[in-house]
Chain A
Amino acid sequence: MEWETVIGLEIHAQLATRSKIFSGAPTAYGAEPNTQACAVDLGLPGVLPVLNGEAVRMAVKFGLAIGGTIAARSIFSRKNYFYPDLPKGYQISQYDLPVVSRGHLNILVDGEEKTIGITRAHLEEDAGKSLHEDFHGLTGIDLNRAGTPLLEIVSEPDLRSAQEAVAYMKKIHALVRYLRICDGNMQEGSFRCDANVSVRRMEQNEFGTRAEIKNLNSFRFVERAINFEVERQIALLEAGGRVVQETRLYDADKGETRSMRSKEEANDYRYFPDPDLLPLEIGPAFVDEVRGQLPELPDAKKERFKAQYGLGEYDAAVLTATRETADYYEAVVGAAGCDPKLCANWIMGDLSAALNRAGVEIDQTPVTAERLAGLLQRIADSTISGKIAKQVFEAMWEKGATADALIEQQGLKQITDGGEIATIIDQIIAANPEQVSQYRAGKERLFGFFVGQAMKATRGKANPQQLNALLKQKL
């Protein structure tokens, strides 16, 4: 039997504001428990929320970037439920009138482009954290995260495989980082998602019963959790069983999802408009102002890179995957003034490998764009060969010096003087009479031997083209 998977994602992106969504407390991660929670975050008697305008600006930015509608008037509501790390006994969120609605995004899977609808994106506050270790059977509460601004991005059930879900999530991840509205740090929980998963028979029109998998904080987990859940549901249905609507948790250690609570056990959240906050009104002037601040978005940048620098689809996609990489690339091209393809190769090759080895992000690289450009210029003007350049690059990474300084200091400048190269060749011919006669007798692969000897003698500095030409001539 053929089955179709139907997935919708609810992504929670923590907005990169300095202070919380309804208080002035800082949002920095990793502080001592309860040191970044003020009276408002603690839900003390008498406190009131005041909306952080920067969070609104960020939500509008996102809304514009996905071609969504920015609500002229949206409402904050209270989602009521009791939980020890939910200080007020309710979460302030948006319910029937979200700030952003009806956007979309294109994803590329197996070379095919597909449009994914985004139902809505709304602002809400995060809860605190319950800590169960180190308290001897008791629970500790850390409210540092309480009140952190979140943008909840809800997709349409347009995704048809785990692969598509991951592609979509990665696309949103890149977008929020491009917009600089979220740091995208998944380990710290700044970017996480819930997946609504169901399956249906191919010929079936209506959706199957869905299960919601909570709190997936890596692309790998999203993929594994969905695949596990899809197989579980299909096996259940094929055995004549029934999928129940429920919330499930993904256990990364066991690689499986398990039931957390059923629909019957679900809370009645008793949503109602928060009387402490006025409706959020956003005028066209503000929307225009934010639109004016939008950076070039990933898709547009990729197309421009292809056109402007003559890059292929793959190179352009890799170089525009993050705004930092793209900025770095353009800085190198601008400073080097040489072949954009050469610049691309170096960033995607040696630089990227070095960054990976060191576990460093491109905006923290010790080899700055200007310095890499300096190195590439020396390749372009034949001061050094590509091979020597790799050596120089390593030294630049280690010592933090410029390419020119290192070339000078280590005497790496390429030998382009024909006379000098000819003299060396003559010496090699004289020292290896046997190889010369074998070569002349037709054993042509010995040519490499002579190149090797000449490079050894010049410590790799001989200009390879000149060396080859002169060797052929003399032999």
Chain B
Amino acid sequence: MHNKTIAELAAGLRDKEFSSRELTTHFLARIGQYNPALNCFITVTEELALQQAEAADARIAAGKAGPLTGVPIVQKDIFCTKGVRTSCGSKMLDNFIAPYDATVVERLGRAGTVMLGKANMDEFAMGSSNETSFYGIVRNPWDTNAVPGGSSGGSAAAIAARLTPGATGTDTGGSIRQPAAFCGITGLKPTYGLVSRYGMIAFASSLDQGGPMARSAEDCALLLQEMAGFDEKDSTSVKRTVPDYRAGLNERLAGLRIGLPEEFFDEALDSEIARTIEAAIAEYEKLGAEVKKISLANMRLSVPVYYVVAPAECSSNLARYDGVRFGYRCQNPKDVHDLFMRSRGEGFGAEVKRRILIGTYVLSAGYYDAYYLQAQKIRRLISEDFKQAFEQVDVILGPTAPSVAFGFGEKTSDPIAMYLSDIYTIGVNLAGLPAMSIPVGFSSNRPVGMQLIGNYFKEAQLLNIAHRYQQVTDWHRRVPANFM
């Protein structure tokens, strides 16, 4: 059962080949068996999952099943789940039981999905390797000596190891796409504003976007269908009709104009990854697509711009963790200042503190113009580059990350090297565009991810392009040897 896609599982449930309870029990058993080695979960919600599975079975029996009724999924622990610990990977929220559901959780719950648990992640989504989690590292199912990527590392690894057919992720600078690439799965970062951020714990509000992670584009389409759409609780969510994401999956790609940005294929890119991507491009050419070289001239500035904008927003977003109302509080504070200082000092990890410090600095009087304002200007230039590119091509294609999954501790001592692992993904967040990562092969036995970037609200087209590729290749169906 665990090798079936969401689409296949939903069909099996509807046809009563198996019950949601059986399916849920099966995945819970796999989690029990494999999670100790991988550490994909911060919380496994076994009891709740079985309750939800039984409710789903009742709906299926009553003929009231929707497309996802009874399908187990995992929520990244950044999404608030009512009555369940929502830690965001941090000691700060280790004791935080959310009193409400995030809109994404509510919508997926209404669609009938069963929540198996809460996925491990980098602390407050700040990290590219899942090494900053208070709950420990997550291991990559393809090579347990390698990181799963981050920050949605728990979600990606759990899907790759067949501990869940799908999961939610969030992507602020590549946090869905890069772990999807490292774990050989499919992930979609939607257009900013498509998926509600309400109840999704904020890291950098103008960049954060939740999205689906699964094994195939079709499964991502199924999940996105439920996640997407206007939410009056999120002022930045966009009011527009959500298309049927599955309807166009099989559209032909003849005449599709694919842009290859020269900046994505420079000397920083691992040569084996480059060859793998070129093979994927060849598949697209066989499907009738035209390939064109383009340029995104300001792309090289995306990492520095990101590391001004994201920390600035995070320094403010994380100010609420002060030990006063919820979350970690230090022992015996001697006054309110001490309460603030020690609760934050003891509750946050090093990477979070680093970003809060950077953010506080760039917003300070006398530095705001030079950093924050300047970064916003360059951000507009980066968006402008994409806009011009989309006048020439329909989709932009390139590697998701400059390397495959790296080893534990390889980059933790060098934050800049770690930050550069998001060099191909960050620009997309700065511009607010949708993008996907799909598996296209292996390098040194570790998965290689390919990124597809679409124009605003072109998720359906991205899914179509990814799905057509997955119809003619089987990289997305590969299973890591120890998790068959």
Q: List A residues at the B interface (Cβ < 8 Å).
A: 39, 42-51, 78, 80, 82, 84, 87-90, 139, 141, 268, 270-272, 275-278
Contacts and interface: CB of A to CB of B under 8 A. Distances in A.
Contact of A80 (B93, B199, B363): B363
Most buried by A among B199, B204, B312, B320: B320
B340 interface: yes
B100 interface: yes
Contacts of B326: 42, 44-45
A44 B313 CA distance: 17
B80 interface: yes
Nearest to B327: A45
Nearest to B232: A50
A270 to B, nearest CB: 4
> Which DSSP category, helix, strand, loop or mixed, fits chain B's interface?
loop
B201 interface: yes
Interface residues of B, number: 44
Counting from the closest, the 4 A-B pairs by CB-CB distance are A89-B319, A275-B206, A270-B363, A275-B205
A278 B88 CA distance: 26
B155 interface: no
Interface string B187-228: 000000000011111101110000000000000000000000
B312 A272 contact: yes
A105 B79 CA distance: 50
A82 B235 CA distance: 25
Contacts of A51: 235
Given A50-B233, A80-B319, A275-B206, A45 B98 contact: yes
Nearest to A139: B336
Contacts of B235: 48-51, 276-278
B135 interface: no
A88 to B, nearest CB: 5
Nearest to B341: A82
A49 B364 CA distance: 24
A272 B232 CA distance: 24
B102 interface: yes
A272 B200 contact: no
Given A42-B326, A89-B316, 5 more contacts: A46-B201, A47-B199, A48-B197, A87-B324, A278-B235
B168 interface: no
Interface in B409-457: none
Contacts of A275: 204-206, 236, 313
B114 to A, nearest CB: 22
Given A51-B235, A141-B324, A276-B235, A46 B199 contact: yes
Contacts of B205: 275-276
B99 A39 contact: yes
A272 B325 CA distance: 25
B336 A272 contact: no
Nearest to B96: A45
Contacts of B206: 275
A275 B197 CA distance: 12
Contacts of B96: 45
A84 B88 CA distance: 23
A90 B202 CA distance: 14
B324 A84 contact: yes
Nearest to B101: A46
Given A80-B363, A87-B325, A270-B363, A45 B316 contact: no
A408 B204 CA distance: 78
Nearest to B335: A139
Contact of A46 (B202, B236, B327): B202
A82 B364 CA distance: 15
Nearest to A81: B319
A45 B88 contact: yes
A90 B320 CA distance: 8
B360 A270 contact: yes
B368 interface: yes
Nearest to B313: A275
A23 to B, nearest CB: 10
A46 B80 contact: yes
B234 interface: yes
Interface in B307-347: 312-313, 315-316, 318-320, 322, 324-327, 336, 340
Contact of A84 (B198, B201, B336, B364): B336
Interface string B230-244: 001111100000000
B403 interface: no
Contacts of B200: 46
B320 A87 contact: yes
13 contacts: A44-B99, A46-B198, A47-B198, A50-B232, A82-B319, A82-B322, A88-B320, A89-B319, A89-B322, A270-B363, A272-B368, A272-B372, A275-B206
A268 B365 contact: yes
B316 A272 contact: yes
A139 B340 CA distance: 14
A88 B93 CA distance: 15
A276 B100 contact: no
- Most chain B beta-carbon contacts within 10 A, residue among A46, A47, A78: A46
B234 A48 contact: yes
B195 to A, nearest CB: 13
A88 B202 CA distance: 12
Contacts of A43: 320, 325
Nearest to A45: B201
A78 B316 contact: yes
B19 interface: no
A356 B364 CA distance: 53
Contacts of B325: 42-43, 87, 141
B69 interface: no
B79 to A, nearest CB: 8
A82 B340 contact: yes
Contacts of A268: 364-365
Contacts of A84: 322, 324, 336
Contacts of B202: 45-46, 276
A271 B93 CA distance: 27
Given A39-B100, A50-B233, A277-B235, A45 B319 contact: no
